Every structure is written in structure tokens, then in C-alpha cells.
């Protein structure tokens, strides 16, 4: 017995010695004189820490799995200058390949439509105010001044709505200024869908819609006034050419039961500050999305100051969708010394010749072709803006043919290695024709991706 007790005592002392030598054992050992309650609390804390650690490990594993999947999925990049129609084309992809997701956002886009409508009203009010302040004016009168005053409650809703989604105090401050100080400002949101959830559920947004509805007749009367139309024409303000034009649909879009159509959502405009990443995940098969594979689209800002941020997205991109309206008669809004089409050509040349994109398909969209047709119909003379156009037919076919060959020649000469030239004429707000084009583009991109994967 003495020997046995001595052995136990020696083992106990050896265990204590090991604990002293092992800092982890010492740290994990129960504190001396621990009460039962303290022991239970310690055990529960340890179990909680273990659960949190497991959750973190699972999150890391899920992130790795998503990253591996992203590397394997097709990635497309939407490129083009500001106002080229990238956001509208992106919506067309949503409508074509994820229609259920598209439908789920209609409540949010209803508020965007109202914001666009209010923005047009603000532009009209600002123009009237400026005209009345001129030394001599003949087109508007004190009656129009009073109409602007009467519509102040509608203009005030813009401040409320912008305050819900403003990315910085600057936009809230701008929205609170008088109507004549607001010309040129617009709603700007952060990347992601948070603003959509806010617009869809906010009571303030619903109240704003109600206020606009209550003054729909006054808004309609303002737009129906021929003097107002003549004033806008005199000052070279074309609301119809800008995105988000709904003044011809006042009674419909201000109705309390208004639900935006597909066309309304495509026409609605809201500017995103920064790069947007969109994942197109297969939905339940329909006639429109049968056979669709998961893919990613990156929508990057088109302003001149943001283009340096494009390069990190060039890596492992399978396709570039490059948008350019044939706006040779316009200058950049951010730099009026630069012709809009010349700027697009410079961008096109850089993209075609970029080494990181030598394996990517580059697909050219001549976008907003409905506007070009209208301009030509109104008497626009191409060679007055583009002297090299010469005596070619001043027609839609003449214009598109000439500029197509220009872009095609740069594509062939500057591409690091030979690749096919893809070209389409698009009107992004025309859902039917654009859906066909996007379906063709999607099929061609995946066919090439599959071919490259087999070769690898």
C-alpha cells in the first residue's frame, strides 16, 4: 500500500511538473477554488468560443469555395464612357437570364422612376427661373413662376428620397437647395442592392409617391404648356435624349397602383458610385434561360477619372462588352473640350491593344441607335461634325457602315493576336431586339469559354 501511494504521489508530482512546463496546460487548467457556477460559466464560454471558431472556419471554407467557383465561371466586363448605356445593358442581362430576380426589384424601381420624373420637373423649373431672371424674356410669364411655386411640394420629395440613399452629406445638401441650384445633380448610390431594399420598404418613399400622385394634374399641365416646350428648345435642353425620361407618361407613372414595366425599368436611371459585381445564378429553367450557366458581370465607372480602376478587372476576363453611342455631335459632360465619339475611339484602341485582354473576346455595341436615327431624321449633317465622312450618304446605313469599318480596322491592327470581330447595333431600351442580341452574345462567349477550357 505504501509503495502504491508513493507511486501515485510521484505521478501527481510529475503531472504538476508537466503542467508547469506546458504553458497551454496551465492556461487551460481550471482556476483554484473554482465554484460550480464558475465552472459552468467557464464551460459555456469555452463551448461558445468553439462554436464561433467553427463558424469562422466554415466561413473561410465557403469563401474559398466561392473564390474557386468564381475562377472557373465566365467573367464579363462592361466598358464604355459615362452615359454609354452600360447600366441599361446590365438590366437587359438580368431580364434575359434572371427574370425572377428582375421581377423582385420592381417596387424599388418605381421610386427611381418617380425620382427621374421629379428631376425632369426640377430641370424645367430651373430653366423657367433662369429665363425669368434674364433682362428680356418673352416665352414665360408670372403664370409659369407660380406653377413652379405650386410644385414645390413635389420638388421637396427629391430631397427626402435622396436623403434615404445618399452616399455622402454632399448629395443631401445639394438636394435641399432651391430648384434653380439643382440643375445637373442626380441620385447617386453605393454599389450593391441596399438602396433597393430601402426604396421598396420605406414609408417615406411611399409618402413621396403619394405627394407626387396628388399633384399629377399640375405636373401634366406644366409639360403640356407649349411655351415650356419652346423654352427648352430655345435653351437646347432635350429631356427626351437624357436617361430617365418619363414626362410623356405622367399620369401612368404617378398612379398609386403603378408597377413599372420592363421598359420602364430599362429607361429608369440611377448612378452608381464605384464598381458593381453581379452574379448571374441559374434560376428555374424557362424558355428564355434554358441552358444558362452561372456567370459574372462587372460594371465599372465610365468617367475619365475612374478608368485607372479598370485594369485590376482585366485579369481572367473572358469577354469585354464595349458600348459606344455614335454621339459624334456631342462633347463629354465632364470635359466639354472632348468630343464624345473621339473619346470612345481612344478607349477602344486602348482596350484592343491591351496585353492583359489578348485572350478576351471584345464585343462592340453601337448603342442608343434610336437617338441617331432621330437626329438624322431631324436634319443632322454628319460631315459637319466628322469631316472625313466626306460625301458618303447622310443616312443611318451610311453612318453605321462608316464607323463600323473604323472600329473594325483598329481592332484588327491593334489586337496582340488575331481574334474575331463582334459588332451589334443596339437600342438598349428595346427589350425584344436587345434580348436576342444578348442571347447571341452569351452563347458565343460560352462556346469560346468551353473551347478554351478543353484546350487547356
Label residue 15 by pLDDT band (50, 70, 90): low
**Structure confidence at residue 67 as a pLDDT band (50, 70, 90):** low
Cα→Cα distances 62→103, 168, 243, 265, 297, Å: 28, 33, 40, 34, 21
Model confidence over 339-361: pLDDT tens digits?
899 999 999 999 999 998 998 99
Confidence of residue 27 (pLDDT cuts 50, 70, 90): low
Mind listing the pLDDT tens digit for each residue in 201-251? 999 999 999 999 999 999 999 999 999 999 999 888 989 877 789 999 999
Instruction: Please say if the pLDDT value at position 72 is more than 70.
Output: no
Q: Could you give the CA distance from residue 95 to residue 75 in angstroms, rounded to a whole number?
A: 18
Per-residue pLDDT, 179: 34
> Contact, 211 vs 198, CB < 8 A?
no
Angle at 274 (CA atoms; ends 292, 111), nearest 5 degrees: 75
* 57-76 b/e (C-beta count within 10 Å ≥ 16 → b): eeeeeeeeeeeeeeeebbbb
Q: Is the pTM above the cut of 0.85?
A: no
CB atoms closer than 10 angstroms to residue 206: 15
**What are the start and end residues of each CATH 3.40.50.300 domain in the chain?**
76-98+281-455
- Asked if 118 contacts 305 with a C-beta cutoff of 8 angstroms, the reply is no
Q: Which of 8-17, 199-208, 312-321 has the highest mean pLDDT?
A: 199-208
Q: What's the rounded Cα separation, in Å, for the pair 252 and 212?
A: 12
Fold of 76-98+281-455: Rossmann fold (3.40.50)
Decide if pLDDT at 409 tops 60: yes
Count the Cβ atoms, other than its own, within 10 Å of residue 407: 21
Amino acid at each position: 500500500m505504501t509503495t502504491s501511494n508513493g507511486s501515485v504521489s510521484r505521478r501527481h508530482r510529475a503531472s504538476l511538473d508537466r503542467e508547469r512546463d506546458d504553458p497551454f496546460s496551465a492556461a487551460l487548467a481550471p482556476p483554484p477554488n473554482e465554484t460550480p457556477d464558475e465552472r459552468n460559466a467557464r464551460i459555456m464560454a469555452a463551448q461558445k468560443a468553439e462554436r464561433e471558431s467553427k463558424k469562422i472556419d466554415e466561413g473561410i471554407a465557403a469563401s474559398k469555395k466561392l473564390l474557386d467557383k468564381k475562377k472557373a465561371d465566365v467573367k464579363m466586363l462592361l466598358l464604355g464612357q459615362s452615359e454609354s448605356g452600360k447600366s441599361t445593358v446590365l438590366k437587359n442581362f438580368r431580364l434575359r437570364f434572371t427574370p425572377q430576380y428582375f421581377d423582385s426589384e420592381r417596387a424599388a424601381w418605381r421610386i427611381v422612376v418617380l425620382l427621374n420624373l421629379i428631376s425632369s420637373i426640377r430641370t424645367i423649373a430651373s430653366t423657367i427661373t433662369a429665363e425669368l431672371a434674364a433682362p428680356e424674356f418673352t416665352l414665360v410669364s408670372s403664370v409659369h413662376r407660380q406653377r413652379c411655386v405650386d410644385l414645390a411640394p413635389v420638388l421637396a420629395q427629391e430631397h427626402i428620397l435622396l436623403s434615404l440613399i445618399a452616399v455622402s452629406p454632399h448629395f443631401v445638401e445639394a438636394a435641399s437647395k432651391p430648384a434653380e441650384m439643382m440643375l445637373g445633380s442626380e441620385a447617386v448610390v453605393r454599389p450593391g442592392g441596399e438602396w433597393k431594399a430601402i426604396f421598396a420598404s420605406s414609408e417615406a418613399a411611399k409618402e413621396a409617391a403619394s405627394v407626387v400622385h396628388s399633384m399629377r394634374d399640375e405636373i401634366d399641365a406644366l409639360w403640356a404648356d407649349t411655351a415650356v416646350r419652346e423654352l427648352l428648345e430655345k435653351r437646347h435642353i432635350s429631356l427626351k435624349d437624357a436617361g430617365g425620361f418619363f414626362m410623356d407618361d405622367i399620369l401612368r407613372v404617378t398612379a398609386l397602383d403603378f408597377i413599372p414595366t420592363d421598359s420602364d425599368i430599362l429607361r429608369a436611371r440611377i448612378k452608381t458610385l464605384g464598381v458593381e459585381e453581379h452574379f448571374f445564378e441559374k434560376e428555374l429553367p424557362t424558355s428564355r434561360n434554358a441552358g444558362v450557366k452561372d456567370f459574372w458581370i462587372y460594371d465599372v465607372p465610365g468617367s475619365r477619372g475612374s478608368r485607372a480602376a479598370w485594369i485590376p478587372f482585366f485579369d481572367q476576363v473572358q469577354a469585354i462588352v464595349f458600348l459606344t453611342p455614335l454621339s459624334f455631335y456631342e462633347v463629354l459632360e465632364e470635359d466639354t473640350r472632348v468630343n464624345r465619339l473621339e473619346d470612345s475611339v481612344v478607349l477602344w484602341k486602348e482596350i484592343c491593344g491591351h496585353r492583359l485582354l489578348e485572350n478576351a473576346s471584345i464585343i462592340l455595341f453601337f448603342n442608343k441607335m434610336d437617338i441617331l436615327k432621330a437626329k438624322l431624321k431631324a436634319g443632322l449633317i454628319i460631315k459637319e461634325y466628322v469631316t472625313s465622312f466626306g460625301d458618303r450618304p447622310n443616312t443611318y446605313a451610311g453612318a453605321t457602315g462608316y464607323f463600323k469599318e473604323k472600329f473594325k480596322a483598329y481592332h484588327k491592327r491593334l489586337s496582340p493576336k488575331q481574334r474575331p470581330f463582334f459588332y451589334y447595333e443596339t437600342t438598349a431600351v428595346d427589350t425584344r431586339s436587345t434580348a436576342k442580341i444578348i442571347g447571341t452574345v452569351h452563347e458565343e462567349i460560352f462556346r469560346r469559354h468551353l473551347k478554351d477550357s478543353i484546350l487547356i
